[in-house]
Structure 1
Amino acid sequence: MTTVLPVAADGHVIAAPDGRPAAVPADWLPGAGRTSVRIDVDLTAVRVSAGELAYVAEQAGGDVVDWHLFAGDRVVAKAVALLRNRDRVRFDPADGAELAYDADGVVARGGATHKLFPRIDPAVIGLVTLAGEEKILLGRNRRRRYFSLVAGYVDSGENLEEAFAREVLEETGRRIRDLAYWGSQPWPVTGSLMMAFTAVTDDYDAVAATDGELAEIRWADRHDLDRLPIARPGSIANRLINEWRDRH
């Protein structure tokens, strides 16, 4: 039986009673004209309103939750990313023609003959430790109430290591060394692929002016992490911070 994974525009999905992401029978969401993308042979993700999502969740006996609770789930990440692409990419950048998507809702064509594939923006993030100390560098963005790790998008012409070193210097005024790749995670709500690093700095204090993106920058030890609000579960920042805390 064909099933559908309903996803609201804000990225909310349904958690089943067993805690897993919930797909529902296709006939629960009838109607033509829905934005949809094929995820698997028998699974399609569909865009629904917040009201529809709440109604379907009630019928399924589940709860409406933010997608990030399933950030490690390939199906949910793919669904959120592809539906976001359908919402945002509607015209051919070459000639302005309205795009027509293939039967799976993934690849598009406009007035030109070339295919348009969903865009993924590379981004970097990482955990910076202070040389000789059991401390990590945290920052609080002006738009958020929690502390997280330095992150940012890769500029044209940069490799990943250069991008992370630049972001740390711009946002915190610290220089870093001994960069090492740690892992990656899709972050579909922004169309990003987050590539994570670890690094070391000798700069306790800033040695350069910052760009003002962070409202607060601080060094945190393990005990600080027990009382500070940090990046939410499901994010690669949360995993990096907790892995460091559990080792120390």
Structure 2
Amino acid sequence: MLLYIKEILREGEKMNYCDQCGEKLIYKENGIDGKVPFCPHCQQFKFPAFNSAISAIVFNPDKDKILLIQQYGKPYHVLVAGYINKGENAKEALVREIKEETGLSVVSYVYNDNEYYSKSNTLIHNYAVRVETEDFQLTDEVDDAKWYGLDEVLDTIKPNSLAKSFLQRFLAKL
């Protein structure tokens, strides 16, 4: 059965087997959703699952600098980000991830945008936040971090990345 479960959500493939019992799925009409995978054994429709995450444009108290981080030994700078845990909403994950990775406390936030990231099968919700101080304390999840002025942040963040796209979209609104 484990082999069946591993096949369920390979990127770019249809769901073939039930994630509960391993039964081969059939496609069955389900109202406005059209044909949806259905388990004849469990008698349930099976909608594809995906991950949910947040990313944050972290502003200093004066809103004139943005914090970028480096992680996992990579040479590029990105936004603070992390997965939403089971039972947690996006706003709770936002506050938790910033605190976990930088030790900073969120004072205020606004929703910016969202986008599906196919490489990790993740819907990412992006926020712009203001924190109470510039004095961050990095944990082992982050290799390095630095505040960048609004005039230099777009030249510093990872080129052609979703992080840069979120940042560009938010700065265009200012």
Same fold, judged at TM 0.5 (above): yes
- 2:23 aligned residue (63, 75, 97): 97
**Mapping 1:39-78, distance limit 5 Å:** none
Q: Is residue 123 from structure 1 mapped to residue 53 from structure 2 by the alignment? A: yes
Structure 1: tracts of 5 or more residues without a match? 1-81
**Mapping 1:169-188, distance limit 5 Å:** 169-188=99-118
Which residue is 2:121 aligned to? 191
Structure 2: tracts of 5 or more residues without a match? 1-8
Deviation readout 1:104-132 (Å, 9 max, x if unpaired): 99625364321211112221111110012
SS of equivalent residue, structure 1 residue 96: coil
In 2: Cα distance, 1:110 partner to 1:146 partner: 48
How much has 1:206 moved relative to structure 2? Answer: 2.3
Provide the aligned C-alpha RMSD in A.
3.0
Q: Is residue 225 from structure 1 mapped to residue 159 from structure 2 by the alignment? A: no
SS of equivalent residue, structure 1 residue 169: helix
CA distance 1:245–1:183, shift in 2 (3 Å): closer
Deviation readout 1:54-75 (Å, 9 max, x if unpaired): xxxxxxxxxxxxxxxxxxxxxx
Which residue is 2:86 aligned to? 156
Q: TM-score, normalised by structure 1?
A: 0.55
Percent same amino acid among aligned pairs? Answer: 23
- Asked whether the equivalents of residues 112 and 170 of structure 2 are also in contact (C-alpha less than 8 Å), the reply is no
Q: TM-score, normalised by structure 2?
A: 0.76
In 1: Cα distance, 2:131 partner to 2:105 partner: 6
- Asked whether the equivalents of residues 85 and 119 of structure 1 are also in contact (C-alpha less than 8 Å), the reply is no
In 2: Cα distance, 1:229 partner to 1:180 partner: 21
Larger relative contact order, structure 1 or 2 (CA cutoff 8 Å, min sep 6): 2
In 2: Cα distance, 1:171 partner to 1:183 partner: 22
Larger Rg computed on CA atoms? 1
- Asked whether the equivalents of residues 106 and 118 of structure 1 are also in contact (C-alpha less than 8 Å), the reply is no
CA distance 1:162–1:222, shift in 2 (3 Å): same
Which residue is 2:95 aligned to? 165
SS of equivalent residue, structure 1 residue 185: strand
Q: Is residue 140 from structure 1 mapped to residue 66 from structure 2 by the alignment? A: no
CA distance 1:123–1:220, shift in 2 (3 Å): same
- Asked whether the equivalents of residues 145 and 229 of structure 1 are also in contact (C-alpha less than 8 Å), the reply is no
Which residue is 1:72 aligned to? none
The one-letter code of the counterpart of 1:172 is T
